[in-house]
Amino acid sequence: MKKLFSVTAALCCSLWSAQAQNNPVIQTHYTPDPAPMVRKDSVYLYTGDDIPGYPFYYMTKWRVYSTADMVNWTDHGSPISLESFSWAVDRAWAAQCIERNGKFYWYICAQSKDNNMAIGVAVGDSPTGPFKDALGKPLIATPNWSNIDPTVHIDSDGQAYLYWGNGHLYYVKLNEDMISYTGDITEVPQTAESFGGVRGGTNNQDVYIEGPWFYKRNQQYYMMYAGMENRTECLSYATSQSPTGPWQYKGKIMSKQPTNSFTNHGGIIDFKGKSYLFYHNALLKGGGSYGRSTAIESFTYNADGTIPAISISAEGPAPAGVINPYKRVEAETIAKAENCSTSQDEQTGVYVSDIRTGGYLRIRAVDFGKTAPTSFTASLAAGLAGGILEVHVDSVGGTKLASIIVPRTGGWQSFKTFTEKVTAPVTGVHDVFFAFKGQNITAGRKLYNFDYWKFER
Ligand code: FUB
């Protein structure tokens, strides 16, 4: 009941919701090809890692994030990269992770040594890894450039299906071990009835391009995919009464939207009673068709199970929970970040790095409860003195709660905890802003690294 009250309070608090601008949801890295996975009370988000400025999708690693509230995302770093797959040479492209019997299977695609694209699988004991190449070789390695964009679903009878493909859509039935398959690779026939059109067909027809997302909901199977309109990818979908078709084209989900990206690639989940579409756009500062970022829209299925047309928004979803500030919160749990990035090392794990003057972190829907905190603690590391961490609520220039003047701590990776008094009373649900400031700082130099924070009372 108490939890329900807090969530309701969070959803009703206009102070922070009015200013919210969540999309793209990650601002510290470029995060294309989002693949969400619901597990218990959290959503895990698996993405690629774009490097804008490159003239193609020359990508080298994959990333993982998680959230319990759909707005504050915790960065778990990059557990796998091309280096994790001895057979992979380039193009760390779209991927999806799924759980079976307590193990996590992360299906990826990459360019293999024979210059084709191939699908591999890494396995881990937790959704954030560590992960290890399960086979030491690709799972799908036909001499084919179409072997990209794996999507996987385990049906209610336990049979798992792996779909994938660019231009062509293929599937296999995975064995229970999830790292082998039985039977032939089957190509799904493409017709106007199944996917809106055929490649090379008339210009006004939709067509399956890539990025399939296969799932089941209320006894119906869905295949969302990147279709094509005006030389740009849209998101379209088909449904079926069986996991292997026949598929029936149902139309476009995301069409003619100003994403600024040639590609689109999505995933759909239900979480805490709502439905969410994950997709990518090129709207993060410095982005472009090779600098794409995950964005999210919530939506409601029509009564007959069809998916409505969905427009992109800057706001994204509303909070589906609150943050407890009296427990350690990782600094890399972020709704919005400016002028900073994240890094990881063996000792500390992931932390907020590359912090520059004028930047900030926004954490949404922080529930201070009925009794105000008296002190604030942060774990910070600085190779040079002069940085200041200010804590505000409601906006980056809103009421100041605390301020830490950060001395040299012995190095940029030498984290020390600092505790300061809270100088203004705060109760209830607020957005918290960490403002990055400095005293006599040469323009552009980094201030400090930030590992975690909490309030005490
Ligand atoms: O990110 C590289 C490729 O671009 C993906 O594999 C495709 O789905 C498209 O998004």
| 129 within ligand 1 shell (Cβ under 6 A) | no
- Domain residue limits, the chain: 24-299, 329-456
Alpha carbon nearest to ligand 1 atom 9, residue: 263
Residue 148 CA, closest ligand 1 atom number: 6
The residues that are catalytic are 33, 210
β-partners of residue 164 are 170
Pocket test for ligand 1, best of 93, 107, 151, 224 (most atoms within 8 A of CB): 93
- Distance in Å, CA 263 to ligand 1 centroid: 7
| 165 within ligand 1 shell (Cβ under 6 A) | no
Residue 149 CA, closest ligand 1 atom number: 6
Alpha carbon nearest to ligand 1 atom 2, residue: 93
- Distance in Å, CA 214 to ligand 1 centroid: 16
Q: Does domain 329-456 have CATH number 2.60.120.260?
A: yes
Alpha carbon nearest to ligand 1 atom 3, residue: 93
Instruction: Name the stretches of the chain with pLDDT < 50.
Output: 1-18
What's the pLDDT at 19?
Answer: 55
Distance separating alpha carbons of residues 434 and 403, to the nearest angstrom = 9
Q: How do beta strands 400-406 and 387-393 pair?
A: antiparallel
Looking at residue 295, its amino acid is A
Q: Are 146 and 170 in contact (CB under 8 A)?
A: yes
The CA-based diameter of the chain, rounded to the nearest angstrom, is: 68
Distance separating alpha carbons of residues 57 and 227, to the nearest angstrom = 19
| 453 within ligand 1 shell (Cβ under 6 A) | no
Q: What are phi and psi of 9, to 5 degrees?
A: -60, -40
What's the pLDDT at 291?
Answer: 97
* CATH number attached to the domain at 24-299: 2.115.10.20
| 316 within ligand 1 shell (Cβ under 6 A) | no
- Distance in Å, CA 95 to ligand 1 centroid: 9
- Distance in Å, CA 93 to ligand 1 centroid: 6
Q: What are phi and psi of 71, to 5 degrees?
A: -125, -35
CA distances from 373 to 2, 102, 324, 332, 395 (A): 19, 39, 12, 22, 19
- Distance in Å, CA 256 to ligand 1 centroid: 19
What's the pLDDT at 199?
Answer: 77
Tens of pLDDT, residues 155-209 = 999 999 999 999 999 999 999 999 999 999 999 999 999 999 887 777 678 999 9
Residue 33 CA, closest ligand 1 atom number: 10
What's the pLDDT at 429?
Answer: 98
- Distance in Å, CA 57 to ligand 1 centroid: 8
Distance separating alpha carbons of residues 161 and 273, to the nearest angstrom = 26
| 211 within ligand 1 shell (Cβ under 6 A) | yes
| 50 within ligand 1 shell (Cβ under 6 A) | no
What's the pLDDT at 13?
Answer: 41
| 30 within ligand 1 shell (Cβ under 6 A) | no
